[in-house]
Structure 1
Amino acid sequence: MRATLTMGHGDRGQLRCVTDWETPVPASDEVLLRIAATAVNYHDIMTRRGMPGIKIGLPIITGSDIAGEIVALGSGVNDWSIGDRVLVDPVLRGGDRFGMIGETRHGGRAEFVAAPARQLIAVPDGVDLEAAASLPLAYGTAYRMLITQGGLAAGERVLVLGASGGVGAACVQLAKLFGAEVVACASSRSKVDRLAEIGADHCINYSERNFAEAVRELYGKPRVTGGGGVDVAVNFTGGDTWVDTQRCVRLGGRILTCGATAGFDVKTDMRFLWTFEHRFIGSNGWSPADLEALLDLIDQGRLRPVIDKILPLEDAGEAERMLEDREVFGKVLLKP
């Protein structure tokens, strides 16, 4: 079968598309999927570059967000049928293996993949497989952070940093869907224009102005007596944005995070934490229930994932370049 391999740790030159990779045979508790699409995530780039503490068997077929159709069943699989359309929850939950499909075992940058049956989620007839493939790492993470963990309520004001990427765009869409007023931050005029198109009420180009000052102009300075600022701030960038984020959040507000793309060793101003009684809420990944909720929203016509480009499998290197050069708005998919 055709597959794109990550041959070793290093630059994009480590990616190689081959035509003679052996088609996997499903184990007794697995199914074989014909892949319809797989999303490209920054996690794929981190796997290529190498991650401290995580040993990757090389070569590896990356690609963790996978949707497709079942074409063969392992001998012990009774709950699924050939022809079923499914999304793969890539996290290896339970059993004797740890990690993710596309990281510690072969993933979706291929024509076929063997996946544990316990990790399959049925895709409703009204949901196309490309939309399903865009969900886990971006939309699943955003849903869990905002809704499951963050308890977002209608009418709340939400600030989203890094809003143009996969997780950020998902946060903007979901926050609007659940009735929030959204302030979205991005690094270029073209990106803030796109954010307005997908529902952001206010957009801040932080390459031109400080986002904390812009939020203060919109809602006023948070006051210890109440009022001013946003109810919820989403910050998975970290780095030097953390204190400015604290300055944006009202009395009793929440700061949500699911990562630290600009650096994890952040400075926290304890005065804001205690004076404004802020709550810091962490969120790690997603659950199968989060993915099922997202599929239902798409099926109901309430959510349409933002897909920037769909590229052929052979263009995996170009897809990764787009992410590394921050040219992507939403998701990039690969199709075999």
Structure 2
Amino acid sequence: MKAVVLRNHGTVENLTVEGDYPRPEATTGKVVLKVGATSLNYHDIFTVRGMPGITIPMPVVPGLDIAGEIVEVGEGVEDIHVGDRVLVNPLDSKFNLMGEVQDGGLAEYALAEAGQIIPLPDTVSFAEAAAMPVAYGTAHRMVVGKNAVKAGDKVLVLGASGGVGTAAVLLAKQLGAYVVAAVGSKEKGERLLSIGADDYFNYREIGIDKWTRENVGKPSRNSTDTGFDVVINNTGGDTWHPTLKSTKLGGTILVAGATAGFAPAEDLRYIWSFELKVQGSNGFGREDIEALVDLVDRHDFHPVIDSVLSLEEAPAALERLENRGVTGKVIVAPWGEAE
């Protein structure tokens, strides 16, 4: 079968598109699906580079998010049938990720445990489904599951044009918040406005805390009227200190990642002086994915899709993702369609 394959760690250039990669076969308790769509995540870049403490067997097919049609059912599998439209929970029963320590979705076929399978309504396309598990599931757990955002809150989303970022914008808006997106270009900002953000600013042109002071008010230890109620920061690095300076008295900082660096300079004075709450959120659960599928099924929610591409285009698209050149999710459709 055709697949995008990583045989050695390095850069995106280490990925090759191969036409004769072994097609998986259904073993006991597992199923094979014809991949209708998969999506790219920043985690794929970490897989390509290699991650300390995680041994990735080579070769491996990246791609954590997978939606498609069941084509083969292994022994002992019940209530899953050939022809079923499904979405795959990227975590298996041993908490291993698809596309990391086992082959993922950047291929024509994929193997998964029966317990990973989530039924997919006909109203939800493969492209929409593949956009959701990792990025949107992470955002759902953080924004909805932690009960940190409520109607009327002023919410700042950093990294707002990425997968988790666009999902956080949509979910916070659905909860009734006033949402500001921090982005790296006017084009991205206008795109975020079109999906529901109330305002945006270009962090390359103005500092996060400066924009906050000029537009939301400098946080005060004597008032809860200025600063952001919630700041969603999944970037870390040099965005952490200005985040502390932008969150209001008693406000909350939500953290589910650190794409710009996990060991930023810290200033504890802001945390105690402004009584800040730093709420971590780790990944996603099956319940988050199912809730998102239900939202799309009810036509209450639509994942932001940057583009739908072929397997041959996937390595270049992953490089574009690495360089922060996308807004929303990049979908790869191995068979040319993602309906």
Indicate the TM-score class for this superposition, using the shorter chain for normalisation. Answer: over 0.9
1:292 counterpart residue number? 290
Deviations 1:23-82 (A, max 9, x none): 111111111101001101111111111111111111111101000011111110012121
2:59 counterpart residue number? 59
Q: Does 1:170 align with 2:148?
A: no
SS in 1 for 2:197: coil
Q: Does 1:50 align with 2:47?
A: no
* Deviation at residue 22 of structure 1 after TM alignment: 1.9
Q: Does 1:144 align with 2:141?
A: yes
Match of 1:275 among 254, 273, 276: 273
Letter in 1 for 2:134: L
Percent of aligned pairs with the same amino acid: 49
Letter in 1 for 2:108: E
2:185 counterpart residue number? 188
* Deviation at residue 150 of structure 1 after TM alignment: 4.3
CA distance in 1, matches of 2:100, 2:107: 14
When structure 1 is superposed on structure 2, of 148-157 and 81-90 the one drifting more is 148-157
* Deviation at residue 20 of structure 1 after TM alignment: 1.6
CA distance in 1, matches of 2:15, 2:241: 39
Q: Does 1:133 align with 2:144?
A: no
CA distance in 2, matches of 1:291, 1:12: 28
Contact 1:150 1:256 in 2 (8 A): no
1:24 counterpart residue number? 24
SS in 2 for 1:209: coil
Match of 2:316 among 305, 315, 318: 318
Q: Does 1:40 align with 2:37?
A: no
Letter in 2 for 1:31: V
SS in 1 for 2:67: strand
Letter in 1 for 2:264: V
1:7 counterpart residue number? 7
After TM superposition, the runs of 4+ consecutive aligned structure 1 residues lying more than 6 A away are none
Q: How do 1:223-234 and structure 2 match up within 5 A?
A: 223-226=220-223, 227-234=225-232
SS in 1 for 2:173: helix
Match of 2:238 among 237, 240, 265: 240
Deviations 1:166-224 (A, max 9, x none): 11111111111111100110111111111111111110111111121111222212222
Match of 2:254 among 227, 246, 256: 256
Contact 1:164 1:195 in 2 (8 A): yes
* Deviation at residue 316 of structure 1 after TM alignment: 1.6
Unaligned runs of 5+ in 2: 335-339
Letter in 1 for 2:63: G
CA distance in 2, matches of 1:71, 1:193: 41
CA distance in 1, matches of 2:249, 2:42: 34
Length, aligned pairs only: 333
Deviations 1:76-98 (A, max 9, x none): 0012121111111111234xxx4
Normalised TM-score (structure 2): 0.95
SS in 2 for 1:149: coil
Q: Residues 253, 93 of structure 1: CA spacing in aligned structure 2 closer, same or farther, 3 A cutoff?
A: farther
SS in 1 for 2:215: helix
* Deviation at residue 13 of structure 1 after TM alignment: 2.7
CA distance in 1, matches of 2:169, 2:11: 32
Contact 1:141 1:258 in 2 (8 A): yes
* Deviation at residue 247 of structure 1 after TM alignment: 1.3
SS in 2 for 1:322: helix
Deviations 1:212-252 (A, max 9, x none): 11112222122223221111000111112112111111111
* Deviation at residue 327 of structure 1 after TM alignment: 1.0
Letter in 2 for 1:225: N
CA distance in 1, matches of 2:28, 2:93: 17
Letter in 2 for 1:36: G
Letter in 2 for 1:47: T
CA distance in 2, matches of 1:270, 1:48: 35
2:337 counterpart residue number? none
Letter in 2 for 1:148: G
Contact 1:5 1:18 in 2 (8 A): yes
Deviations 1:89-143 (A, max 9, x none): 111234xxx4201100011111111100101111122111110000111111111
